[in-house]
C-alpha cells in the first residue's frame, strides 16, 4: 500500500510548513556515504526551492530594485508570474482583466513615493482567495499604503471590502442591508473561513453575476 500525503493545506500549520519545500535532514554521519547523501540533499533542495514558473535558475543573482519605477516594475512582474502559476484554474478573461487592473494599479505616473508597492505575500493571498471563493463578478482593486491588495465588491449601496495580508489572512469590512436594516461588520479571518463568515450576509449579492444577483 502506498503512503498518503499528510500535508497541511490551510491555516497557520500550512504557513509553518511552507513557503519552501521541506526536506528533513537526517542525523549527522561521518562516512563518505554520509557526505555524499548530504551533498545530494543539498542539490535536491537547490532544485526544489526553485521558484515555480520562473525561467531563472535558483543561483541567479537578482539586483535589488532601487528606484520607484524599478520597484513597481518588479512588483508587477512578480504578480504576473504568480498569476501564471495558477492560470490553469482561471478563465482567460479573468486573467486578462486582472492584468489590466494590475497595470493601472501599479502605474508609475500615479504613484506616491511613500507608498509600498504590492507585496508578494498579499497578492498570493488574493489569488488563493479568488480561487477558493470563485466569485463570478470581478472585484475592483486598490492598494493599502502598506502594499496590501484591497478587493472591493459593490452592489447598490451594499459593499464588501477585503484586504489581503500575508499567510492567507483577510481583513474584511462590509456594509449591507438585511431585513430593511443597514448592518455593518468587520473582522479578520483565514481565506478558508471566509465563506462561513460571509454566509449570513448572502455574499451572492457581491459575488454572483449581475443577472444572478438581480434575480
Partner 1 sequence: MPQYKRPPITEAVIEIRFEQPFPRPEVDKLQQRFRSEYAFSEDFIAYEISVNPAARRADFEEQSSGYKLSSADRADVLLVTSAHVTCSRLAPYVGWDRFRARAEDHWRTWKRVTGYRKISRIGVRFINRIDIPAAGGEEVKISDYLRVHPEAPAVKRMVSYAMQMAGPLEEDDCRFVINSSLVPPPLVDHASVILDIDVSRAGDPPQKDDEIWALIDRIRVHKNHIFEESVTDKARELFNA
Q: Binding residues for partner 1, per CB under 8 A?
A: 1-10, 17-24, 44-45, 47-48, 52-57, 59-63, 73, 77, 80-81, 84-89, 92, 95, 99, 124, 127-128, 131-132, 168, 191-192
- Least Å from the CB of residue 106 to partner 1: 13
- Least Å from the CB of residue 93 to partner 1: 12
| Complex with partner 1: residue 91 or 114, whichever CB lies closer | 91
Burial class (CB in 10 A: 0-12, 13-18, 19+), 37: middle
| Complex with partner 1: residue 120 or 155, whichever CB lies closer | 120
| Complex with partner 1: residue 102 or 213, whichever CB lies closer | 102
| Complex with partner 1: residue 159 or 193, whichever CB lies closer | 193
- Least Å from the CB of residue 178 to partner 1: 27
Q: Residues 64-77, buried b or exposed e (16+ Cβ, 10 A)?
A: eeeeeeebbebbbe
| Complex with partner 1: residue 85 or 116, whichever CB lies closer | 85
- Least Å from the CB of residue 132 to partner 1: 4
Burial class (CB in 10 A: 0-12, 13-18, 19+), 171: middle
Q: Which three cell numbers stand for residue 75?
A: 512588483
Residue 5 has a CB neighbour count (10 Å cut-off) of 5
- Least Å from the CB of residue 200 to partner 1: 21
Q: Which residues does 150 contact at the CB level (< 8 Å), separation at least 6? A: 141, 142, 143, 144, 161, 162, 163, 164
| Complex with partner 1: residue 124 or 148, whichever CB lies closer | 124
Q: Tell me the C-alpha to C-alpha distance, in Å, between residue 40 and each of 17, 23, 28, 35, 49.
A: 22, 12, 14, 8, 14
- Least Å from the CB of residue 202 to partner 1: 22
Amino acid at each position: 500500500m502506498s503512503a498518503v500525503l499528510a500535508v497541511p493545506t490551510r491555516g497557520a500549520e500550512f504557513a509553518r510548513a511552507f513557503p519552501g519545500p521541506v526536506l528533513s535532514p537526517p542525523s549527522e554521519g561521518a562516512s563518505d556515504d554520509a557526505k555524499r547523501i548530504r551533498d545530494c540533499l543539498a542539490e535536491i533542495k537547490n532544485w526544489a526551492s526553485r521558484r515555480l514558473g520562473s525561467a531563472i535558475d535558483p543561483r541567479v543573482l537578482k539586483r535589488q530594485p532601487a528606484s520607484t519605477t524599478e520597484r513597481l516594475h518588479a512588483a508587477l512582474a512578480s504578480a504576473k508570474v504568480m498569476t501564471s502559476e495558477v492560470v490553469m484554474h482561471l478563465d482567460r478573461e479573468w486573467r486578462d482583466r486582472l492584468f489590466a487592473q494590475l497595470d493601472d494599479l501599479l502605474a508609475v505616473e500615479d504613484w506616491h513615493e511613500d507608498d509600498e508597492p504590492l507585496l508578494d505575500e498579499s497578492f498570493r493571498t488574493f489569488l488563493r482567495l479568488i480561487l477558493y471563493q470563485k466569485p463570478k463578478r470581478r472585484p475592483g482593486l486598490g492598494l493599502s499604503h502598506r502594499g496590501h491588495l484591497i478587493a472591493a465588491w459593490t452592489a447598490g449601496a451594499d459593499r464588501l471590502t477585503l484586504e489581503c495580508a500575508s499567510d492567507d489572512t483577510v481583513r474584511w469590512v462590509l456594509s449591507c442591508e438585511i431585513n430593511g436594516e443597514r448592518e455593518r461588520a468587520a473582522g479578520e479571518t483565514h481565506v478558508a473561513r471566509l465563506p462561513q463568515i460571509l454566509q449570513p450576509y448572502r455574499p451572492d449579492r457581491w459575488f454572483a453575476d449581475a443577472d444572478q444577483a438581480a434575480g
